[in-house]
Amino acid sequence: MTERQYIKISVEDRIAVLTIDHPPVNALNTPTMQELNSALDELAADDGVKAIVITGAGQYAFVAGADINEIAALKGPEDARAVVLMGQGILNKIENMRKPVIAAINSVCLGGGNELAMSCHMRVATDRARFGQPEINLGIIPGFGGTQRLPRLVGKAKALEMLLTGDMITAQEAHRIGLVNKVVPEGEVVKAAKDLAKKVLTKGQVAVGKIMEVVDQGLQTSLEKGLLLEADGFAAITATEDMREGVAAFLQKRQPKFQDR
């Protein structure tokens, strides 16, 4: 793996743990985002990596947001637009990845950090985590997808409450409204995220990738067109070795041995 200043990667049991390490609060400045982008490309191309866990270093924050100094230094609307399009492109890369990406949220998760977490396919949080989109307190709006992903995850009314007040919510509230999948005790969040990834990795990865593809594409269209995407995906999967093995294992009352093809 390439050595980076702000992004650390370890791989074990086909799961990569990507740690954002930019003290003191893992702010997403431009160098950190650039390293994140290159790390995602590296992990996407690595056939030995089947799932990714993203977490933050230290005890103060998963990611506390964008670098406010960089926002203050923006030279005008065009400069600002270029910055947010860059960030959106990187987070879209996470959302569109066909390997499961799970956020392990170890502490405060605000602004760009919450936008990063929302771009992941699943989210596990420690019980002391806090979530919010506080951009309104600076007289600005989210730029890395917060106004779009948050309503899709928690509904329009709750999203607007968070976006318009800038208030933080607890991990327990985030779980209640569907922002996170699971809340675990402090110190167990990375293990819990890896355990979730390991469970997904026991399944046929061709079907895993196809489900992620159909869900993502279906959410961008009508139900009618989404059902056609599902039908096409189901038809394609029936031609795979994994499908034959899975059905045979069920009929023979044994565990399947998927080969991911």
CATH H-level, domain 7-201: superfamily: 2-enoyl-CoA Hydratase; Chain A, domain 1 (3.90.226.10)
Q: For residue 248, what pLDDT is reported? A: 94
**Chain segment 140-166, per-residue pLDDT in tens:** 999 999 999 999 999 999 999 999 999
Which pLDDT does position 67 carry in this prediction?
87
Assess whether 188 carries a catalytic annotation: no
- Among candidate residues 35, 78, 115, 224, the one labeled active-site is 115
Residues of the chain with CATH 3.90.226.10: 7-201
Of residues 197 and 59, the one with the higher pLDDT is: 197
Query: d(Cα 63, Cα 167) in Å, to the nearest integer?
Result: 16
What residues contact 143, with CB distance under 8 A and at least 6 apart? Answer: 66, 80, 83, 84, 87, 88, 112, 135
Backbone phi and psi for residue 197, each to the nearest 5 degrees, phi listed first: -65, -45
Can you tell me whether residue 63 is helix, strand or coil?
strand
Active-site hit among 35, 42, 135, 230: 135
Amino acid at 53: V
Give the CATH architecture of domain 205-251.
Answer: Orthogonal Bundle (1.10)
Instruction: Report the alpha-carbon distance of residue 207 to residue 58 in Å, rounded.
Output: 36
CB neighbours of residue 77 within 10 Å: 8
**pLDDT single digits (tens) 7-38:** 999 999 999 999 999 999 999 999 999 999 99
135 is catalytic: yes
List, for residues 94-146, the tens digit of each pLDDT value. 999 999 999 999 999 999 999 999 999 999 999 999 999 999 999 999 999 99
pLDDT, position 198: 97
